[in-house]
Amino acid sequence: MSKPLGVWHETTLHQQTIYQTTTVVGLKRNIDDVHGAASAVPAPKQTSRPSFIAPRGPPRLTASTIKCTRDAPLGPSEYSQRKEFASTPRCTQDASLSLSHPVYGLPRQLVANFSKLGIQSIYPWQKHCLLGPGILKGEKNLVYSAPTGGGKSLVADVLMLKQVLADRDAKAMLVLPYVALVQEKVRWLRNMVEGISREALGQGLKDDNKTWARRSDRDTVRVVGFFGGSKVKPTWHDFDIGICTIEKANALVNAAIDDCSITRLKIVVLDELHMIDDDYRGYLLELMATKLLCLSQPVQVVGMSATLTNINLLKTWLQGHSYETHYRPIPIEEHLVYDGKIFPADTTTQLLRAANEQLKSGLQNTQSQTQSQVLPVRVVEPSAHKEYKDPVLNAVVALATETARSGYGALVFAGSRAGCESDALLISRAMPTLNEADPVIQEKRLDLLGDLRSLATGLDRILEQTVPCGVGFHHAGLTTEERDLIAYAYDAGVLKICVATASLAAGINLPARRVILHNARMGRDLVGPSLLRQMRGRAGRKGKDEVGETYLCCQRKDLESVVDLMHADLPQISSCLISDKRRVQRAILEVIAIRLATSRESLDEYISKTMLSYSAESDSIQENVRASLEDLQYMGFVTVDNFSNYQVTRLGKAIVASAFDPEDGVFIHNEMKRALQAFVMDGEMHVLYNFTPVYDLGGTQINWRVFWNEMEQFDESGLRVMSLLGLKPTQISKMLHGGSLRETTPEEKDISRRYHRFYLALQLRDLCNEMPIHRVAQKYDTPRGSVQNLAQTCQGFAAGMIKFCEHMGWSAMGAALDHFSDRLKAGARADLLALAKITFVKSRTARVFWDNGFKTVAAVANADPRELVPVLMQAQPTKIRLEAKDEKRYEDKLFAKAKVISESANRLWQLEMQQEHDFDEE
């Protein structure tokens, strides 16, 4: 019997077995080196042209053949959803599947924009979800779950846009867990609202709001992204739809409640709602949503995810409706690859049973018995190459190359950064070379190599070998620019195979015809059911594929664990608020600071609206609240007035405004008090230290040899900073020779944190003084992506520190931090800050412009773009000599870049002149 498209849930909660998972966020990882075959690959010699002659590498290899053992079933297997949903009605059969239908009340231009972006109609489940009681009118909250690729985002987009377009004062927020998703969604929604005038939609409505009268763009829908590291400050009046990371969204809601502008907020969408269970950041989602539930005016809260199980708990907590569907427009065929044999996913239990029986019987030759009970659909033949001796690796290479040769894209998930690079190298050796590729693809891959080479970091030596063969890799060790170029090239079909870490599954949208998992491990641990579902959910491209395929390649020793994992239920969602006392402290401090709750009764009411109150004993919650209030008073964050109401202190207010945890706030306050008593102003290290984040940055390890070498080069200023911080050369020497930092007492933990902060501050010092990211990465033995992430994270942390200083009345310190934040973003010294505001002009490029006489924005603005081409050529990270036939092509690319630079400089120059004119008039 086929299942319905979706079902509205009742309030009953179902208990399920808890499954141990490995989370991506907050996981500490060591920096890997490329092992195995990858380590044996010699660094290629620099060629005389950027990418037209492939570097000589190891000899080419041949991927193993994959043979059928029996006739494969036509179409998707019973494991997929195709048989459950034989057909999808179209709008010609059901008029309400068209977004132009009057029931949705969407303006004609918006419907046209949807159509332009490829959305001609909606699925039946989306219709049923949108037409739930009170959903379209914004009267009821909604929690819904649909598979990856099932169209979840469209429902939220319709609800957000409908609210914003119906009311000029309306604000909407979309909360996403990762910066890459925020940036991607900003681009999508800006295309969605293009050409829509709210004046035409709201004719006849009286507009008494003075804010609108001051806006030149009062009739447009402004979509703005807020994330750590961006210079955009989260101001409530500058957007209509705000796309935010979790941290920025929480800060934005706090600020809006505090200044009473929250009344304009009409809808908040929480994407990837399963992350409320994340031990690192999930509690912030819970805090934010609970505040919205406590407001006097209604705010529609919409939560969605592909991996929700106990959806009724979320429905009850958010006091709304829930909807769940298993429909997926592109069905997925799932397989297990074990010992070189490919089995349908629905036969894995039988396979495990047979394997266990053979193991118990002690048979030496178990192959015939296994095949007599469970037949594989295909077999990967053993490889004659020693590089592919491992059957798991051999299967990965065979499946990936088979996909590419058939003209489709394959996404390979590896367990580590080193695994990504190693797999990419070994797969590329079995792929056709650049000279064998289609001429059009050849040109595009050469362009990609040229774009990668022209980045400030230069061309990665492994990408230089893999990209010509149509293979790329994607992990956090690459810079943002490198990852963007690889992702775009893969999505456009220039690269046929992309090897990525598991975190990519949640961090960016890259679907594939075939998803291949090289083991089910992330590091040493098995991934959890949620992450496994997200990875496999990337299979199948809407509009390009009839079906998606997933292959989980399993080692013999992991068979039982992997089969259990494949059939495991998703874990139950639970509150993370109680798992750490500091989180309850932060929850209480925030609501007191923004005056949402100041009495014990109102605090109890606030806590009663958290998800925690639906899953924990009342007595334990009350005890935690009582202890947290006492701690907050002891730390000096809150006081009690004569009426027994709680009042936030200046320090408490500063911590909330800065979005710091209370415990981190104590450490920061002590560090700043120490700095104010004896601030070292004759150098840079003290300022840089004070805006280096206090929290862990992915388990950064100190290279004590580098630390010692840098310390030996310090002048008197740097040594005084170390002395003021309590950092001792004798301790560094001890660590250099195998010592350890004790962290048993709070004092020892603080001094250990200072050593780590100072080590990171050394990297920031080099970045601020125009050392390129890749050089800093080499110097400190860390991936260049980690260095870039440090710089971006520091910019966000610096913004919090500046707010902290402003609220504490330390304006001079705030100004110093702000200046160095600008230098860090520019990657340059103070003399280049004006030039660094120009698009494409940062760090090395800015210095080359300066050295060539373009020392002001006006000088660049008044230059002919062709004058800038030779300067840009000098700014390339490697000197490239081109053949005559290609020189014109390369110059054309630089000329296009020069025109963008010229236009940006002109805009900045005009703004400068306008400001000077306004100043003269005053």
Distance, CA of 537 to CA of 585 (rounded, Å): 37
Task: Please state the rounded mean pLDDT for residues 159-164.
Answer: 94
Q: Quick check: 494 pLDDT over 80?
A: yes
Distance, CA of 64 to CA of 796 (rounded, Å): 49
319 and 339 share a domain?
Answer: no
The pLDDT score that the predictor gives to residue 852 is: 93
Name the DSSP letter for residue 24: S
Q: Which ranges of 769-833 would DSSP assign to H, the alpha helix?
A: 773-779, 784-808, 811-826
State which amino acid sits at residue 860. V
Distance, CA of 716 to CA of 698 (rounded, Å): 32
Is residue 11 included in any domain, yes or no? Answer: no
320 and 353 share a domain?
Answer: no
Q: Quick check: 587 pLDDT over 80?
A: yes
Lowest mean pLDDT among 209-213, 376-380, 802-806: 209-213
Distance, CA of 653 to CA of 666 (rounded, Å): 13
Lowest mean pLDDT among 120-124, 441-445, 914-918: 914-918
Please, are residues 856 and 906 in contact by the beta-carbon 8 Å criterion? Answer: no
Is residue 603 included in any domain, yes or no? Answer: yes
Please, are residues 520 and 552 in contact by the beta-carbon 8 Å criterion? Answer: yes
Q: Which of 148-162, 185-199, 442-456, 809-823 has the highest mean pLDDT?
A: 148-162
Q: Quick check: 416 pLDDT over 80?
A: yes
754 and 849 share a domain?
Answer: no
pLDDT-derived band at 360, boundaries 50, 70, 90: low
Is residue 652 included in any domain, yes or no? Answer: no
Task: Single out the residue in 602, 618, 646 at which a domain terminates.
Answer: 646
Distance, CA of 514 to CA of 412 (rounded, Å): 8
pLDDT-derived band at 229, boundaries 50, 70, 90: low
Residues 6+ apart with CB under 8 A from 18: 571, 572
Is residue 461 included in any domain, yes or no? Answer: yes
Is residue 338 included in any domain, yes or no? Answer: yes
Q: Quick check: 204 pLDDT over 80?
A: no
Q: What's the first-to-final CA gap in the chain, in angstroms?
A: 79
The pLDDT score that the predictor gives to residue 619 is: 87
Closest among 211, 106, 225 to 165, alpha carbons compared: 106
540 and 392 share a domain?
Answer: yes
What CATH number does residue 193 fall under? 3.40.50.300
Q: Other CB atoms closer than 10 Å to residue 899's CB: what's the count?
A: 13
Please, are residues 539 and 515 in contact by the beta-carbon 8 Å criterion? Answer: yes
Name the DSSP letter for residue 853: T
319 and 344 share a domain?
Answer: no
The pLDDT score that the predictor gives to residue 359 is: 53
Task: Please state the rounded mean pLDDT for residues 893-901.
Answer: 89
The pLDDT score that the predictor gives to residue 588 is: 95
Residues of the chain with pLDDT > 70, as a percent, come to 82
Query: In the structure encoding, which two tokens stand for residue 247, read together?
Result: 């941290």
Task: Please state the rounded mean pLDDT for residues 95-121.
Answer: 91
Full residue range of the structural domain in which residue 640 is found: 581-646
The pLDDT score that the predictor gives to residue 137 is: 92
Query: In the structure encoding, which two tokens stand for residue 691, read together?
Result: 């805006």
Distance, CA of 473 to CA of 387 (rounded, Å): 19
The pLDDT score that the predictor gives to residue 201 is: 57
Task: Please state the rounded mean pLDDT for residues 214-240.
Answer: 71
Residues 6+ apart with CB under 8 A from 708: 732, 733, 736
Q: Other CB atoms closer than 10 Å to residue 510's CB: what's the count?
A: 19
What's the 3-state SS for 122-182? CCHHHHHHHCCCCCCCCCCEEEEECCCCCCHHHHHHHHHHHHHHHCCCCEEEEEECCHHHH
SS3 834: coil
| Maximum distance among all Cα pairs of the chain, rounded to whole angstroms | 95
Task: Single out the residue in 566, 589, 622 at which a domain terminates.
Answer: 566
The pLDDT score that the predictor gives to residue 700 is: 74
Range 178-181, long-range pairs (CB < 8 A, 24+ positions): 178/245, 178/506, 178/507, 178/508, 179/227, 179/228, 179/229, 179/245, 180/483, 180/507, 180/508, 181/271, 181/507, 181/508, 181/509
Task: Single out the residue in 795, 827, 859 at which a domain terminates.
Answer: 827
If you average pLDDT over every residue of the chain, what do you get? Answer: 82
Lowest mean pLDDT among 208-217, 683-692, 719-728: 208-217
The pLDDT score that the predictor gives to residue 264 is: 92
- Identify the residue with better confidence: 906 or 307: 906
pLDDT-derived band at 77, boundaries 50, 70, 90: very low
319 and 353 share a domain?
Answer: no
The pLDDT score that the predictor gives to residue 47 is: 39
Name the DSSP letter for residue 382: P
- Number of domains the chain contains: 5
Task: Please state the rounded mean pLDDT for residues 265-290.
Answer: 91
623 and 710 share a domain?
Answer: no
State which amino acid sits at residue 562. V
The pLDDT score that the predictor gives to residue 217 is: 54
105 and 235 share a domain?
Answer: yes
The pLDDT score that the predictor gives to residue 234 is: 55
The pLDDT score that the predictor gives to residue 506 is: 64
Number of H-type helices and E-type strands within the chain: 36, 21
- Identify the residue with better confidence: 372 or 165: 165
Closest among 419, 405, 404, 414 to 516, alpha carbons compared: 414
The per-residue pLDDT for range 823-857, each reduced to its tens digit, is 888 888 889 989 999 998 888 889 999 999 999 99
336 and 409 share a domain?
Answer: yes
Closest among 760, 759, 783 to 773, alpha carbons compared: 783
The pLDDT score that the predictor gives to residue 399 is: 95
What CATH number does residue 669 fall under? 1.10.3380.20
Please report, for residues 478, 680, 782, 800, the alpha-carbon distance to residue 779 in angstroms, rounded to integers and kept in the order given. 16, 26, 8, 29
- Identify the residue with better confidence: 85 or 485: 485
Please report, for residues 18, 42, 466, the alpha-carbon distance to residue 58 in angstroms, rounded to integers and kept in the order given. 47, 9, 12
The pLDDT score that the predictor gives to residue 859 is: 93
Is residue 82 included in any domain, yes or no? Answer: no
Query: In the structure encoding, which two tokens stand for residue 636, read together?
Result: 């000096």
Q: Quick check: 590 pLDDT over 90?
A: yes
349 and 494 share a domain?
Answer: yes
What's the distance, CA 806 to chain centroid?
Answer: 30
Is residue 3 included in any domain, yes or no? Answer: no
270 and 387 share a domain?
Answer: no
Lowest mean pLDDT among 417-426, 522-531, 588-597, 753-762: 522-531
57 and 140 share a domain?
Answer: no
Is residue 837 included in any domain, yes or no? Answer: no
The pLDDT score that the predictor gives to residue 376 is: 86
